[in-house]
Amino acid sequence: MSKISNPVIYEIDYSYEAVESLEGGILQEEGSNAKYLLDYPTVYIVHDEKKNREFSVYIGETSDIRQRTKQHLIEDPKKREDWESLANSDDSKMYIIGHDYFNKSLTLDIENKLMMYMSSIDSVQSVYNRRTNQQKEYYTVDKLDEIFSKIWRKLRNKNKTLFPVEKIIKDSALFKASPFHKLSDEQIQAKDKVILKIMEALTRNQSGELILVAGEAGSGKTVLMSSLFYELKQLAQEESENIVLQEANSYLLVNHEQQLKVYQQIANKLGITSKKVPNLVSKPTTFINNHTPEEKADVVIVDEAHLLWTQGKQSYRGKNQLYDLMERAKVVVAVFDINQVLTTEQYWEEEELLTLEHEANLKGNFIRLENQMRINASQSTINWIRSMIDDRKINPILKDIKGYDLKIFNHPEELYQAIRKKAKDENSGISRIIATFDWEYVDKRKPEKDDYWRVKIGNWSLPWNLQLPQMKEQKRKNRNLSWAEQEQTIDEVGSTFTIQGFDLNYAGVIIGPSVKYRNGEIVFDRSFSQNKKATRQRTLKNGKKEQFSDMLLKNELNVLLTRGVNGLYIYAVDEELQKALLNAAKG
């Protein structure tokens, strides 16, 4: 039995009249627990519900709830429109949260975690308190998660729309990319170093400064960049001695439709973007077309920079997007993983990439994240996955001491049913099937003899991603959700183009016929791949045309096999590869 007590939560109308009688009401209703609200530090949530069941929310913490609330009601509306809206609404209410464990550090962490949760909820349209304040070590830090869950459950009893179950929030792409995640020591050191380098570059009025952040899939790069972008925006809004960052403008770019959608939602909810300042979060081509080298941005952050184009394509008429961004910004922070380059239009010639890394290294601008944060597995399982990808070897599968679920299936239907079962299990979270791009799919036209583009193995098949039709209401519900978050996608097969940058709790991976097993090692057969962007030739700078399908198809496998947080289920089409995997599963 837990010895930690339940929180005290007191609800009032958010009005001056209610605050005037706050102390008497708390003493009457809470009795001996009143001291946790009146004399201890507290966390509070002010919320206003609109007619369409959408909410505006402010989250804060204070050592004096009476004085702080009066300040919000009387002084803050004179300076800020958000507080004016909350103060003038007839429907706004406030929850005051107290606990016998609360101290300054713990309330700051609870406040931060509430911001992370509430900015990830679909019905919450805006979160007004936007500071980051993750605390490090303190006396009661080990009690944080348990106390927070008790608070959340009690809040949920009061309003199920505003406070959904924790699992739904934690499964959302918004939550996973939130800038309010508590960073690891490695991430904190990386962020501090990047901010210091940005300050140095802007102070010296440098131009085209490149800071490279490297790390394998799952090393926490996206959360780091989200946190960095958010902190730069906060520093720009603060009145501080750091005039360089206070005056800096920063942009966040990503060349991935699904990830862009997530970043844009986060920026909108936190008030970073508005009608006055659109396109602070956009695709690289949009930024390049809207900026000139003569009017440079201060800071450009590029997540998934390995997806930048290194040749002209469609609306982009340049030769290399990274170089074009460096021409248009004083500082470019680029997150790069060479093992996630997937197409010839993203390919970097080795000498050119090494030169970029070398120059960044000489300036102290090269940062590598080493820790694996996505896969919740023991090192033996991580080594097995990396050996299959990097060494093309299939080693015996050892029992995972952390309980990571690595299984090989005899048939795609068995894998499909296992993933469906996990998806229905409320404790398992989002689970989906994904596959190598070895079955035809053309997004701009329908197939001639079938209802959808499909992944077909014998008599078994499922539609490719984004194929199943949706009713109007379903489309509205899904408009802000990534592919894996949409309910109907449990009956589709995802590809690298919808799953890259995201994670799944359980990933069911179908390895198609382009990946084979011959003479004791994995080989790639481009003749079986439908990914023309990976199998076509690339013209090099010397005019020579070459194939890079081995590297690009290996990277495709890398992206797919590193999606599963708690489990990885595999079926291989190639008979020899499937046999080798089944033998490996015997240990």
pLDDT in tens, 381-404: 999 999 999 999 999 999 999 999
Which residues are CB-contacts of 96 (< 8 A; sequence separation ≥ 6)? 9, 10, 11, 12, 26, 37, 42, 44, 65
**If you write DSSP's letter for every residue of 442-465 in order, what string do you get?**
-TTS--SSSSS-EEEETTEEEEBT
Predicted local distance difference test score (pLDDT) of residue 525: 98
Q: How many CB atoms neighbour CB 506 within 10 A?
A: 25
CA–CA distances in Å: residue 304 to residues 212, 253, 333, 340: 11, 9, 11, 9
Q: What is the pLDDT of residues 316-350, one digit of tens each?
A: 889 999 999 999 999 999 999 999 999 999 999 99
Residue in the block written with tokens 């004791």:
520
43 forms beta bridges with 61, 97
**pTM for this entry:** 0.91
For the chain, percent of residues with pLDDT exceeding 90: 74
Indicate the pLDDT class of residue 130, thresholds 50, 70 and 90. Answer: low
Cβ burial of 449 (10 Å; 0-12, 13-18, 19+) is exposed
Give the pLDDT of residue 132: 62
- Whether the predicted pLDDT of 221 surpasses 50: yes
- The CA distance from 550 to 438, in Å, is 14
Q: Could you tell me the sign of the dihedral formed by the alpha carbons of 135, 244, 227, 220, in that order?
A: negative
- Rounded-to-integer distance, Cα 435 and Cα 485, Å: 17
Share of the chain above pLDDT 70, in %: 97
Q: Are 199 and 248 in contact (CB under 8 A)?
A: no
Instruction: Supply 246's token pair.
Output: 């206070």
- DSSP strands (E only) in 384-511: 405-408, 431-435, 454-457, 460-463, 493-494, 504-511
| Contact status, residue 563 vs residue 507, Cβ threshold 8 Å | yes
Question: Higher model confidence: residue 89 or residue 490?
Answer: 490
Backbone angles phi, psi at 132, to 5 degrees: -105, 140
Residue 1 confidence class, pLDDT cut points 50, 70, 90: very low
Residues 520/529, Cβ–Cβ less than 8 Å: no
Q: Fold for 185-369, please state it.
A: Rossmann fold (3.40.50)
Least trusted range by pLDDT, from 74-88, 204-218, 533-547: 74-88
Contact 112, 145 (CB under 8 A): no
The tokens for 226 are: 């989200």
What are the tens digits of pLDDT across the range 481-493? Answer: 899 999 999 999 9
Running DSSP on this structure, what letter comes out for residue 345? Answer: G
Torsion sign (Cα): 510, 511, 513, 516 = negative
| Separation of alpha carbons 206 and 185, rounded Å | 29
Sheet with strand 504-511: strands edge to edge: 405-408, 564-572, 504-511, 431-435, 493-494
Residue 58 has phi, psi (to 5 degrees) of -120, 135
Distance CA 587, CA 210 (A): 46
Map tokens 């909350």 to a residue. 86
Evaluate whether 26 touches 38 at the Cβ level (below 8 Å): yes
Query: Which fold would CATH assign to domain 379-585?
Result: Rossmann fold (3.40.50)
Confidence grade of residue 444 (pLDDT, cut at 50, 70, 90): confident
The residue behind tokens 């998660």 is 145
Fold equal for 185-369 and 379-585: yes
- CA 99/CA 208 separation, integer angstroms: 50
Domain borders along the chain are 8-164, 185-369, 379-585
Helix (H, G, I), strand (E, B) or coil at 263: helix
3-state secondary structure of 169: helix
Residues contacting residue 344 through CB under 8 Å, at least 6 positions apart = 533, 534, 536, 537, 538, 548, 552
The mean of the pLDDT values for the chain is 91
The amino acid at 170: K
CB 132 within 8 A of CB 230: yes
- Give CA angle at 353 (388, 345), nearest 5°: 75
CA distance 343 to 500: 13
pLDDT in tens, 33-70: 999 999 999 999 999 988 777 899 999 999 999 999 99
Asked if the model's pLDDT at residue 241 lies above 70, the reply is no
Q: So what's the pLDDT on residue 316?
A: 84
pLDDT tens-digit readout, 158-176:
999 999 999 889 889 999 9
**Distance from C-alpha of 311 to C-alpha of 304, rounded to nearest angstrom:** 17
In eight-state DSSP terms, residue 61 is E
- What is the pLDDT, as a whole number, of residue 528? 98
Q: Band of the pLDDT at 133, cuts 50, 70, 90?
A: low
